[in-house]
Amino acid sequence: MNFELNDEQRMLSDSLTRFLSDKYDFEKRRKYMEMEGGFDPAIWQGYAELGIFALPFSEDEGGLGGTSVETMIVGQAMGYALTNEPWIEAMAIAPSLLQAGSAEQRAEVAEGIIGGEIIPTWAHLEPGMIDRGEDIATTAGADGALSGTKTVVIFGAEANLIFVTARGPEGLGLYMVKGGASGLDAREYKTQDGRRAAELTFDGTPSVRLSGGIPAEEAIALAEARGVSAVMAESLGCMEKAIEETVEYIKGREQFGRPIGSFQALQHIAAGAVVEKEQVKSMAMYASVMCDDGDATARDLALSAAKVKMCDASREVGQMAIQLHGGVGMTMEYAIGHYFKRMTMQEIAYGDRDFHMDRLCEAGGLAA
């Protein structure tokens, strides 16, 4: 039993935090959001140069062979800085889905992601599909031609490599489509939390099926697990920053002739948020270790437990932060509202509370 980070992990945390505090603040973030595609490609390249994209790939794939603990460290820093780029798709989703592919497929895509040339995303959800367990209607022909519609594909119009979940002649499969491929239509929009996403329509779109690795179902389940773990870590970072911002605010804001942070009613609400945040920190660590567990059932139940805890805590911390900011917390001008919006999206990403409660309840809870 050991919850401590090793020296390399601490260095990773320090260097990424330094990079982000240099590149990201509220004003800079606003500028990035106004750029074409909703983010600055130079920052994506910066991540690549820091080497973070190499972490989740094995040494055989040309990566650094890191674990989900490294992904957690990255996620915490990304959440704290409220970054917008699709790092979860690059670091948690793509490396998992690629496990369905051959050694050559894995190495080729890994090289592109590690170098920052590939911006990957995952087209999985379909219109009307509010639960991640529902059937996939998108089809793939024997030649890999895809037909169907996918919804809320994060940076779906900007990504140059799209992993698509579809039903082919051999059952559920994972297919890779290049950005701008023929028969691919993207309807782009902004998300509630300042990112971009798109509805993607495939009409005979050429693709390459991932084959030669683990079954697609297993790769999808792995991606879902690592997605939960990554979004947990990001949520933790957001909670840390939201509490910091709120505490700073109530120390400075004066009413009734004194800082409102001197009122015990507010102090105890803020302290309650710290309690919940600390529980999420523990569960984020648990999630990151468990999502590399070889027993898929134990892994998925553990991740569900973590996500349930995160959903509850995120609501409490987020709502606390807006409430204690008062009127200014309601405005676009203040950072806190943007953290609140991101936290709310994290609660519903990769399965909401009900989805994960159902999974736990059906199994009779965590293994004792």
Partner 1 sequence: MELTFTPEEEAFRQEVREFIEANLPAATRDHLKRGNPPTKEMTVEWHKILHAKGWATPRWPAEWGGPGWSVTQMYIFQQENQRAGAPDPQGFNVGMIGPVLIQFASDEMKKEFLPKIASLDYWFCQGFSEPGAGSDLASLKTKAEWDEAGQQWIVNGQKTWTTYAQHADWIFLLVRTSNEGKKQEGISFLLVDMTSPGVEVHPIQTMDGGHEINSVFFTDVKVPAKNLIGEVNKGWTYAKFLLGNERLGAPRVGSSQAKLEELKEIAQTRIVRGKPLWDHPRFRDKFVEAQVELKALEMTVMRVLSSMQAGADTGKPDPATSVIKIKGAQMIQRLTELFVEVAGEQAMPWTDGELGDNARIGDAWVERAAPNYFNYRKSSIYGGSDQVQKGIISKAILGL
Q: Which residues of the shown chain bind partner 1 in the complex (CB under 8 A)? A: 1-5, 9, 69, 243, 247, 250-251, 261-262, 264, 266-268, 270-272, 274-275, 278-283, 285-286, 288-290, 305, 308-309, 357, 360-361, 364-366, 368
Minimum CB separation from partner 1 for residue 75, in Å? 14
Output 130 or 275, the one with its CB closest to partner 1. 275
Phi and psi torsions of 233, nearest 5°: -65, -40
Pairing of strands 184-190, 171-178: unpaired
Output 48 or 260, the one with its CB closest to partner 1. 260
| Residue type at position 147 | S
Q: Is 188 helix (H, G, I), strand (E, B) or coil?
A: strand
Decide if 82 contacts 59 (C-beta within 8 A).
no
From residue 7, alpha-carbon distances to 11, 14, 70, 194 in Å are 6, 10, 12, 34
Phi and psi torsions of 126, nearest 5°: -125, 160
The helix or strand, by DSSP H or E, that contains position 147, with its residue range, turns out to be strand 146-154
Output 170 or 278, the one with its CB closest to partner 1. 278
Q: How far is it, in rounded angstroms, from Cα 151 to Cα 207?
A: 18
Minimum CB separation from partner 1 for residue 308, in Å? 5
Structure tokens at 186: 């993207």
Q: How far is it, in rounded angstroms, from Cα 61 to Cα 111?
A: 8
Decide if 315 contacts 211 (C-beta within 8 A).
no
Output 209 or 309, the one with its CB closest to partner 1. 309
In 10 A of CB 29, how many CB atoms?
Answer: 20
Q: How far is it, in rounded angstroms, from Cα 149 to Cα 127?
A: 7
Minimum CB separation from partner 1 for residue 292, in Å? 11
Closest CA to 92 of 229, 239, 281: 229
Q: How far is it, in rounded angstroms, from Cα 174 to Cα 220?
A: 8
Minimum CB separation from partner 1 for residue 168, in Å? 36
Minimum CB separation from partner 1 for residue 305, in Å? 5
Output 262 or 297, the one with its CB closest to partner 1. 262
Output 262 or 331, the one with its CB closest to partner 1. 262
Phi and psi torsions of 132, nearest 5°: -70, -10
Output 191 or 279, the one with its CB closest to partner 1. 279
From residue 331, alpha-carbon distances to 49, 138, 335 in Å are 36, 40, 9
Minimum CB separation from partner 1 for residue 153, in Å? 30
Minimum CB separation from partner 1 for residue 244, in Å? 9
Output 100 or 283, the one with its CB closest to partner 1. 283
Output 143 or 278, the one with its CB closest to partner 1. 278
Minimum CB separation from partner 1 for residue 354, in Å? 10
Minimum CB separation from partner 1 for residue 281, in Å? 8
